């Protein structure tokens, strides 16, 4: 049974649905990103760490964190596009749901990749060295939405007579 809206508050079902999709959709994407991140970095290729393949204690963690940042940044970019295209009625609600989903997605991706076993005995485990990388996805969502919104406002402002 649905609860009625509070007096004076207008319900926006489309915005609620978009917010829920952004929140839980990014969480599911985080699990997939964690699997992709683990599969790419458990045996680093020359593409990730240079030629010849160097798995020293300084190069490998930076490449691993970089791959994680790129993957989560791409998911954040997709989420920002969804926010910009679908959040006309309740933009703040959808934006907050997108930020919460982005943080949850990054944490789930880091946890999933770290929980899976290493490639072989004696191989390094896949884990983040710089935990600030979990903030890349929420930052991309916020930065893209802010930049596009600012540009839209400036364009409207300059076209106003």
Q: pLDDT tens digits, residue range 32-91?
A: 999 998 888 776 555 555 555 555 556 666 778 888 999 999 999 999 999 998 877 788
72 near 136, Cβ under 8 Å? yes
In a domain, 70, yes or no: yes
In a domain, 6, yes or no: no
In a domain, 59, yes or no: yes
Mark 78-91 as b/e (b = at least 16 C-beta within 10 Å): ebbebbbebbeebe
Which range marks the domain in which residue 48 is found?
14-159
Tokens representing 118 are 């290493």
In a domain, 4, yes or no: no
Global model pTM greater than 0.75: yes
Looking at the 3D structure of the chain, how many domains does it have?
1
């Amino acid at each position: 049974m649905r609860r009625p809206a509070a007096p004076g508050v207008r319900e926006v079902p489309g915005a609620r649905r978009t917010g829920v999709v952004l929140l839980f959709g990014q969480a599911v994407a985080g699990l997939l990103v964690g699997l992709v991140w683990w599969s790419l970095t458990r045996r680093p290729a020359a593409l990730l760490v240079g030629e010849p393949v160097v798995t020293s204690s300084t190069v490998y963690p930076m490449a691993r964190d970089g791959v994680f940042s790129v993957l989560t940044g791409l998911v954040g970019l997709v989420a920002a596009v969804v926010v910009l295209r679908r959040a006309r009625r309740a933009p703040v609600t959808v934006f907050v749901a997108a930020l919460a989903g982005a943080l949850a997605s990054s944490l789930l991706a880091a946890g999933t990749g770290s929980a899976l076993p290493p490639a072989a005995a004696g191989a390094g485990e896949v884990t983040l060295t710089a935990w600030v990388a979990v903030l890349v996805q929420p930052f991309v969502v916020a930065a893209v939405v802010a930049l596009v919104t600012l540009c839209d406002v400036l364009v409207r402002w300059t076209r106003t007579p």
